[in-house]
Amino acid sequence: MAGQIKRIKYLQPNQPQSKILEVIDMMSTIDKRHGGPYDRGSADYYYWREAKPHYYLGATGSSERVEEENMTDEQVKEYLLGYATETDRKEYT
């Protein structure tokens, strides 16, 4: 699933209102804590890593890592939304 993800541009003016409302609703209920699925997706995009859904049970790097095969569909969606909606990229110079 994640290996086939393309960069999705959410909330573009030409999208149906139902899609925009769906994304807004999902954004309001997402757990955005450090180490959570949304946070990890956002970080992977920022650091130019490919989308590979995962998250940490606690703090990033110092707690157990949960891989895609052990994530719920909702957690995978949160990861992919974080990946798709991040707008910044690290510049390595």
Between the two ends of the chain, the Cα-to-Cα distance in Å is 32
Q: Say what percent of the chain tops pLDDT 70.
A: 70
Question: Phi and psi for 7 in degrees, rounded to 5?
Answer: -65, 115
Q: Would the pTM count as exceeding 0.75?
A: no
Q: Of residues 84 and 31, which shows the higher confidence score?
A: 84
Q: What is the DSSP string of 23-72?
A: HHHHHHH----TTSHHHHHHHHHHTT-----EEESSSTTTS-EEEGGGS-
Taking residues 80-87, what's their average pLDDT?
Answer: 92
Q: Of residues 68 and 8, which shows the higher confidence score?
A: 68
Q: Of residues 29 and 19, which shows the higher confidence score?
A: 29
Taking residues 22-50, what's their average pLDDT?
Answer: 87
